[in-house]
Every structure is written in C-alpha cells, then in structure tokens.
Chain A
Amino acid sequence: DADVTQTPRNRITKTGKRIMLECSQTKGHDRMYWYRQDPGLGLRLIYYSFDVKDINKGEISDGYSVSRQAQAKFSLSLESAIPNQTALYFCATSSSRDGNTEAFFGQGTRLTVV
C-alpha cells in the first residue's frame, strides 16, 4: 500500500463547482503539503501544514482552501473551480523530527475543469 494516498486519481468537473481532493498518509509525518504541477512550471506550493492546527499559504493559494482534519489527513478544496486550475495535484509529507529528510509524494490527482 502506498504511504501517501490521494483520492480521486482523476477528476473532471465543471466550472463553478466545488471540489475536494483528499490526501492521507501512514508515514506518521507531521508536515503535509499540496503542490500543483503544470507543464513548464514545475511544482508550485499551494498550502502547507506543519501540524493539525497549523495551516500556511504557499505561493499560489488563491482559489484554494485546505483542511487538516487529523495528522494523517490533509484535504484541498477548490471553492469554485475554473479552467486554469486544470493541473496535476500532488500531496506530500515530511517529518520535522528528523531535520534532514525528504518529502514523500502521493500518486497525484489529475484534475480537469471544463
């Protein structure tokens, strides 16, 4: 089983609809992140959370919101989806207990807004 699981893997939605992408992890990490990947732009950080009560905006948070329901769960919502939010979305986790550690990524959610 994957350590970082994203659902759904693929989603097509209409403009204006609210959609939630979910992420859960079994790694016991305290830090969780949401990135979007666009061709030629690499990965850009949307939101990150260092603890259940700690939520921070990343570089492109407009149009998105997040919820850290538990240490293991971090969901990303698009309140009113628009076509330029069509992208590949990745959830990632890391641990603050080991200062030198990498991020572990989920399989990604491909979102298309029509």
Chain B
Amino acid sequence: AQSVSQHNHHVILSEAASLELGCNYSYGGTVNLFWYVQYPGQHLQLLLKYFSGDPLVKGIKGFEAEFIKSKFSFNLRKPSVQWSDTAEYFCAVMGTGANNLFFGTGTRLTVIP
C-alpha cells in the first residue's frame, strides 16, 4: 500500500528565509513523485514532478525538490521565500502500476512580510 507523510503541518517563515518541507512515502516499487501548491481559495497546481533521471528536480517559482531513494523522501526546498508563497503544499506519490495519486495531509506555509 502507498502512503505519504508530511510531518510539518504549519510552517511560519519571514520573507527571504529558506524553506524545506519534508515528504516521506512508503511504496515497494518505482514511484512518480509530485508537489502541488494550493493558494488560498484556489485549486491545486503542480509545482514540480519527478519521474526518473536527475533526482534534483526544479519547478516553477524557484522551488526544487530532491528525491532520495534510500530515505524514501522527496523534500521541497526554496532558498528565499516570498510573501506570495503563502499557501498549502501537498506532496503526492503514484506508484508505477498503481491506479491513483496518494496525497499527504499538506503543510500550510505562512510567510510574514
């Protein structure tokens, strides 16, 4: 069975601070990994995705994530956050051969100007 854990429920940062949001998954095989962002009152939008190749993935708006297979992790990073990054962030995993995306419980990020 697949599962996704996001250990940070709410993160509060000041502008220009660095961000790292944790994501760990459990699945016995090959996975596709995603980070989605949900801005207040909006739907989920894809930030970045990992399917294969370079484990360091760059996404939109300066975000990146690193897939560490040995740790079953796919942490999201941004070197310098902005107020406009205030949103909820969801990690998701799809095991190859599985039928659907499994989501973590989300991390709410608040960036203070």
Residues of A within 8 A of B (CB): 33, 35, 40-45, 48, 50, 56, 58, 90, 92, 99-100, 102-103, 105-108
The residues of B with any CB-CB pair to A shorter than 8 Å are 6, 9, 32, 34, 36, 42-46, 49, 51-52, 90, 96, 99-106
The A interface is mostly helix, strand or loop, or mixed, namely strand
Contact B100 A58 (CB under 8 A): yes
Asked if B51 and A100 make an inter-chain contact with CB atoms under 8 angstroms apart, the answer reads yes
Q: Which residues of B lie under 8 Å from residue A35 when comparing CB positions?
A: 103
Tell whether, in the assembled complex, residue A42 and residue B90 are in contact, meaning their CB atoms are under 8 Å apart: yes
Contact count A vs B, C-beta below 8 Å: 44
Chain B interface main SS type: loop
Are B44's CB and A90's CB within 8 A? yes
* A58 to B: closest C-beta gap in Å: 7
Q: A90-B44, A105-B44 are in contact. Are A42 and B106 (CB under 8 A)?
A: yes
A102 touching B49 by the CB < 8 A rule?
yes
User: Which residues of the partner chain B approach A102 to less than 8 Å between Cβ atoms?
Assistant: 34, 46, 49
